[in-house]
Amino acid sequence: MLDDIEALKKEIENYTISTEEELEAFRLEFLSRKGKIQSMFSRMSEVPNEQKAQVGKAMNEVKNFAQETFDAAQKKLEREETADLKATDDISLPAPPYAPGSFHPLTQTMEEMKNIFYRLGFSIADGPEVEDDFHNFTALNFPPNHPARDEQDTFFVRKDDDPDVDDLVMRTHTSPVQIRLMQKQEPPIRTIMPGRVYRNEAVSPKSYFLFHQVEALYIDTDVSIAELKETLISFVKLMFGKDVKYRLRPGFFPFTEPSLEMDIWWEPAHKKEGKWLEILGSGMVDPNVLKAVDIDPEKYTGFAWGMGVERIAMLRHQIDDIRVFYENDVRFLKQFN
């Protein structure tokens, strides 16, 4: 008898209930009046008295087990029924578009430069984009007949025959901000000047009539080429990675003497051969510039350097046409999310 009870328990265990029909079949087979459990109880009379207690307990256990199995299966089926309600209750459906905001790639490059300079202890200054001849040229030691002063190269906003009225131009570099800063602040000065500048140039994939620069200026009692070199090297390592290969070579600018340019070795991913690429111009601030802002060149020396933001952004993202920066095509911008 006990073996039969055990066999019945196995049978219940192995019964699969996945539909309403099977659930009903299970009830009829085991739990109904004519079911297997009931008929098991009706055989109680056959059990010898001394075993009655033991068998009765086992029978009750199997009855409860059958009932629990039925209840659990019924609940599960009910849940499944409600879970299967709507086609839209499908977590794999795509969420509606939610485009992020983004910074322009030029802002991204410029911010990165600024952050490097902040780490090197520089602060930041800005000035107007419409600038007078004094700040843009004269104070920066541009000789009167320098080609940059020509209409071919520079946008003029005001030209006056009266020599006391300074010409106004769209600034051709951010260096006039250096002049403004030195005019109002005593050294030490350790500042960068980012901003938009203008050149009267034909538009092509390589040049645009406006672009952005970041310049740096450091004036103190004891600044030399050695410090300039150290700062330049720190900068390129932070900007391009500490294994960057670089070189310095002489350059020529009106506002620095000596003047230097820096190249980095550039190996674009898709090209076989690397080459030296000029990334910035620099030098020791020309004594004439210091004199123009009443700083004593015997007491103070300093360095300045500048670089084009577009040029570096193009390099890093392998962009070959400068004009894409100003088209504001969302398909371009969203690549810089």
> Looking at beta carbons only, is 168 or 217 nearer to another protein?
168
- Backbone φ and ψ for 306, nearest 5 degrees, come out as -150, 150
Q: Is 267 annotated as a binding residue?
A: no
Nearest approach, Cβ of 294 to another protein (angstroms)? Answer: 18
CA distance 312 to 78: 64
Give how far Cα 191 sits from Cα of 221, 254, 283, Å.
16, 20, 15
> Looking at beta carbons only, is 17 or 179 nearer to another protein?
179
> Looking at beta carbons only, is 16 or 145 nearer to another protein?
145
Nearest approach, Cβ of 194 to another protein (angstroms)? Answer: 10
- The residues facing 292 across adjacent strands are none
CA distance 26 to 15: 8
- 115-148 burial, b at 16+ Cβ within 10 Å, e below that, comes to ebbeebebeebebebebbbebbbbbbbbeeeeeb
> Looking at beta carbons only, is 12 or 175 nearer to another protein?
175
Q: Give the list of residues 6+ apart from residue 30 with CB closer than 8 angstroms, or none.
A: 12, 36, 37, 66, 70
> Looking at beta carbons only, is 17 or 310 nearer to another protein?
310
Around Cβ 73, how many Cβ atoms within 10 Å?
Answer: 20
Around Cβ 248, how many Cβ atoms within 10 Å?
Answer: 15
For residues 248 and 232, is the Cβ–Cβ distance under 8 A? yes
For residues 322 and 106, is the Cβ–Cβ distance under 8 A? no
Nearest approach, Cβ of 62 to another protein (angstroms)? Answer: 51
Nearest approach, Cβ of 329 to another protein (angstroms)? Answer: 7
Q: Give the list of residues 6+ apart from residue 208 with CB closer than 8 angstroms, or none.
A: 201, 310, 322, 323, 325, 326
Residue at token pair 């008929």: 39
Rg of the chain over Cα atoms, rounded to whole angstroms, equals 42
Nearest approach, Cβ of 24 to another protein (angstroms)? Answer: 38
Nearest approach, Cβ of 89 to another protein (angstroms)? Answer: 12
> Looking at beta carbons only, is 35 or 128 nearer to another protein?
128
> Looking at beta carbons only, is 15 or 326 nearer to another protein?
326
Q: At what angle do helices 2-13 and 49-83 cross, to 10 degrees?
A: 10
> Looking at beta carbons only, is 99 or 269 nearer to another protein?
99
Around Cβ 177, how many Cβ atoms within 10 Å?
Answer: 25
For residues 184 and 135, is the Cβ–Cβ distance under 8 A? no
Nearest approach, Cβ of 72 to another protein (angstroms)? Answer: 36
Nearest approach, Cβ of 94 to another protein (angstroms)? Answer: 8
Binding site residue list for Mg(2+):
257
Binding site residue list: 257
